[in-house]
Amino acid sequence: MTHEVPSLPRPRADSGKPPDPGDGPARPLEDGFSLLCPREPGPALSAELMGLSDPSTLGGDGAAGVRDRRLHAALVAPVRYLLDAGGKRWRAHLMTLVLEMFDAGGRHYAELVAACEMGHAGSLMVDDVEDGSPVRRGGPAAHTVFGEATAINAGTAAYFSLDRAIRNTFPRDAALRLAVYETYLAHLRATHAGQALDIQGHDRELEHALTTGDTRPLLEMLTLTHRLKTGAQVRAMCEIGALAGRAGPRQRAALGAFGEALGLAYQIIDDVGDLRGVVHREKATKRVADDLRNAKVTFPLAHAVALLPRAEAAALWRSVREEPDGPGEEALRCWARTIEDSGAVKECEERAARLLDEAGAAARPYLPESPRTEALFEAAARVVHRSWSS
Please list the pLDDT of the chain residue by residue as tens digits (390 residues): 433 333 333 333 343 333 333 333 335 688 899 999 999 999 999 999 998 877 777 766 667 889 999 999 999 999 999 999 988 899 999 999 999 999 887 788 999 999 999 999 999 999 999 888 888 888 999 999 999 999 999 999 999 999 999 999 999 999 999 999 999 999 999 999 999 999 999 999 999 999 999 999 999 999 999 999 999 999 999 999 999 999 999 999 999 999 999 999 999 999 999 888 766 555 655 667 788 888 899 999 999 999 999 999 999 999 888 865 566 778 888 999 999 999 999 999 999 999 999 999 999 999 999 999 999 999 999 999 874 444
| Spatial separation of the C-alpha atoms in residues 301 and 213, rounded to whole Å | 14
Q: Where are the alpha helices (DSSP H) in 102-231?
A: 110-131, 142-146, 148-158, 161-169, 174-200, 203-212, 216-226
Nearest CA-CA partner of 376 in 242, 280, 271, 250:
242
The CATH number that domain 174-390 falls under is 1.10.600.10
Q: What is the DSSP letter of 74?
A: I
Contacts of residue 189, defined as CB under 8 A and 6 or more positions apart, other chains included, come to none
Are 94 and 234 in contact, with CB atoms under 8 Å apart? yes
Domain boundaries, the chain: 22-90+107-172, 174-390
| Spatial separation of the C-alpha atoms in residues 313 and 308, rounded to whole Å | 6
| Spatial separation of the C-alpha atoms in residues 322 and 137, rounded to whole Å | 29
Residue 6: other Cβ atoms inside 10 A: 9
Are 143 and 126 in contact, with CB atoms under 8 Å apart? no
SS3 label, residue 42: coil
SS3 content of the chain, % helix, strand, coil (to 5): 70, 5, 25
Q: What is the DSSP letter of 368?
A: -
